[in-house]
Amino acid sequence: MDGKSLLSLPYSARRVVVVDKGRQSEPGRSAPTMSWRSALESIAGVTPADGGWTRAWKAYRSSFGLTAYVTLYKAAKLRREPPSGDEFLVLTEAEVTGLSLPPGHPRDRVVYIGHPFDPPVYIPAAAFHRFLFEHKVAEAIRLLTALAATSIAVEYAEGWGREANMTISAPLPTGAPIDLGGSVGAFKSGGDRSVSHLELNPSREAYLPDGLVWFSHEPLWQEMARARLSSGLRQFQVDVSYADDYGVTARFAANVTGAGLELGGSFVDYRSTVWRLRGSFADRK
């Protein structure tokens, strides 16, 4: 399986992948599907016929030591309390060629989650929620700048706030005077809810940019763009909301680590979040 074949699968079948750099790809054969329980059993050398607790205790008393005991204990626990049923594809390093991964990736035994609306993009499970929300905010700002916004105030409404230390970035039209960096950690005391404030000088007429991935799923964004392009909308207020955990929960993270795999960093759990973007558009020429 290569990246193109992977992306031809339904999202539910390719949502979670793990890279095993020790496995060799076999032409004409699909990537194996594995459950969290079978992953740990494979690592620990435990099979369903084993006694679980009995074997774990014997391993502890033998030369395997405490590490083997803990691993085997986890396998026995997973057998008694099966996780939520998530399965993942095990891919070789060659099989992820063509996917969009963060710099320095893929890494061995790290679990990656596919972007729900941007098929080539895969994100380490630890950063999945942070990445998706930052990506959505960035796309909203990109849309507004393409629609010839002259000012954009980004404000925290609910959810991730001062402690999240989020950053936002997006490509701006040529000639835009500032960087879009903003940090939630930069909040002032006294209730200041501002994340970032942008002053822009549009160099072209309003247009709808290509390559938007969230836009088709946001009816209010679509209506704002229609009002701007057809009726010369001058003021805007639009919310960027993040209200779906996509199945990547604390329990999911526990299944990953319990199976002896890695999240790719410190796990950021889902939080329903809203940031509000408000400002003005340029006069139509």
User: Tokens standing for 268?
Assistant: 């950021």
Domain boundary among 99, 115, 147: 99
Residues 164 and 273 in one domain: yes
Residues 273 and 171 in one domain: yes
Domain boundary among 53, 81, 99: 99
Task: Note down the domain range covering 171.
Answer: 130-244+269-281
Instruction: Confirm whether 179 is domain-assigned.
Output: yes
Whether 39 contacts 142, CB under 8 Å? no
Instruction: Confirm whether 104 is domain-assigned.
Output: no
Residues 10 and 135 in one domain: no
Per-residue pLDDT of the chain (285 residues; tens, 9 = 90+): 667 788 989 998 899 999 888 776 666 566 778 777 677 666 655 554 555 545 544 554 444 444 554 555 555 554 444 444 568 888 888 888 889 999 999 999 899 999 999 999 999 999 999 999 999 999 999 999 999 999 999 888 888 765 556 666 544 433 333 334 333 333 333 345 777 888 999 988 999 999 999 999 999 999 999 999 999 999 999 999 999 999 999 999 998 988 888 999 999 999 999 999 999 999 876
pLDDT value of residue 190: 35
Instruction: Confirm whether 40 is domain-assigned.
Output: yes
Residues 169 and 276 in one domain: yes
Domain boundary among 99, 120, 148: 99
Residues 274 and 189 in one domain: yes
Tell me the whole-structure pTM to 2 decimals: 0.77
pLDDT value of residue 16: 93
Residues 135 and 89 in one domain: no
Angstrom CA distances, 135 to 80, 232, 236, stand at 39, 27, 20
Residues 6+ apart with CB under 8 A from 129: 242, 245, 248, 268, 269, 270, 271
Instruction: Confirm whether 113 is domain-assigned.
Output: no
pLDDT value of residue 26: 63
Sequence length of the chain is 285
Residues 72 and 188 in one domain: no
Residues 55 and 9 in one domain: yes
Residues 167 and 240 in one domain: yes
DSSP letter at 63 equals T
The number of folded domains in the chain is 2
Instruction: Confirm whether 78 is domain-assigned.
Output: yes
DSSP letter at 113 equals E
Residues 136 and 94 in one domain: no
Whether 101 contacts 122, CB under 8 Å? yes
Residues 165 and 275 in one domain: yes
Instruction: Confirm whether 123 is domain-assigned.
Output: no
Estimate to the nearest angstrom the gap between the alpha carbon of 72 and the chain centroid.
31
pLDDT value of residue 164: 58
Residues 6+ apart with CB under 8 A from 156: 162, 184, 187, 193, 194, 195, 275, 276
Residues 90 and 142 in one domain: no
Amino acid identity for residue 48 in this structure: P
pLDDT value of residue 45: 58
Q: 55-65 as b/e, with b when 16 or more CB fall inside 10 Å?
A: bbeebbeeebe
pLDDT value of residue 95: 87
Give dist(CA 179, CA 189) in Å, integer: 24
Helix/strand/coil for 175: coil
Instruction: Confirm whether 18 is domain-assigned.
Output: yes
Give the other-Cβ count within 10 Å of 26's Cβ: 10
pLDDT value of residue 98: 86
Instruction: Confirm whether 201 is domain-assigned.
Output: yes
Residue with tokens 């032409």: 27
